[in-house]
Amino acid sequence: MKRRVLASVILAAAAALSLTGCLSSSDAPAGQQVDVEAAWLDDGRVIAVVTSGSSSCVPTAESAEINSDGALAVELVEPDADTACTRDLVPRATLVTVPDGVDPSQDLEIWVTGDGYYGDVTLAGVSGLSGPGGTTDYEPSAGWTQQQGQFVILTWGSSGCVPVVETSEVTGEAEVTVAFQEPPADQACTADMAPRTNFAFADGLSGVEDVQLTLSGDSFDTTIAIYGTSD
């Protein structure tokens, strides 16, 4: 039986996501229960919390804290009410810094609360990840979610020039190839270094471990592991 998410969490600044909270699963959540997924990224330093909604209005994590039950409690905040949002319904990834004390090799229960909704998911542990602490190496990473065949790709670069997946296909017994669209030659990009996420799918690899992902197109030509195992 799934545990229930906390109706309220101790607020913390987004930059202080490693604080330890004192939340309890015994409190009844408020709002509508929704499906939530999650994936390990960035060598276990980051978790992508996946919800569904407008692709242009992705919620941010206001707090992410380990509660008294050892679960990761995440509070999501929607964009300002006057933000213009597209009327599509797609998976969106909210990136959460993994708090100190989390062992990525162990299963992690995640409780999510938002504006009028809640959900929970168990993220299976993955051996070999460094886990929280340290700084990113700004290299691409990818992790399976709980939806069969779906994985999240994390890349770093201009926030104004997010790569666009053109194709995703299984190219071997434990290999997937994702090709990004070539950007326009006159594309103007912001001069920042930000995390960007994409979703991709690979059918037929359920239960296969150590799947390798080849990224090509745009500025990418590399092969990385997809963390975890596809459901």
Domain presence at residue 3: no
Residues 146 and 218 in one domain: yes
Last residue in a domain, options 91, 123, 155:
123
Q: 123, 157, 174 — which closes off a domain? A: 123
Q: Is residue 75 part of a domain?
A: yes
Residue 136, in any domain of the structure: no
The predicted-structure confidence for 1-17, as pLDDT tens digits, reads as follows: 433 333 333 223 333 33
Model pLDDT for residues 177-221, shown as the tens digit of each residue: 999 999 999 999 999 999 999 999 999 999 999 999 999 999 999
Instruction: Examine residue 130 and state whether it is found in any structural domain, yes or no.
Output: no
- 152, 178 in Cβ contact below 8 A? no
User: Residue 101 belongs to what domain range?
Assistant: 14-123
- 164 and 78 in a single domain? The answer is no
From CA 137, how far away is CA 43, in angstroms rounded? 9
Query: Given pLDDT bands bounded at 50, 70 and 90, which one contains residue 112?
Result: very high
* 152/207 same-domain check: yes
Task: Work out the angle at residue 91's Cα, subtended by the Cα atoms of residues 38 and 25, and round it to the nearest 5 degrees.
Answer: 40
One domain, residues 145 and 112: no
Find tokens 């700004």 and name the residue: 138
Asked if residue 5 lies in contact with residue 29, where contact means CB atoms within 8 angstroms, the answer is: yes
User: Same domain for 119 and 210?
Assistant: no
> Looking at the 3D structure of the chain, how many domains does it have?
2
Same domain membership, residue 111 and residue 50 = yes
Give the span between the Cα atoms of 142 and 200, in whole angstroms.
10
Q: Given 63, 91, 123, which residue is the final one in a domain?
A: 123
Same domain for 22 and 108?
yes
- The Cα–Cα gap between 26 and 7 comes to 10
Same domain, 159 and 103: no
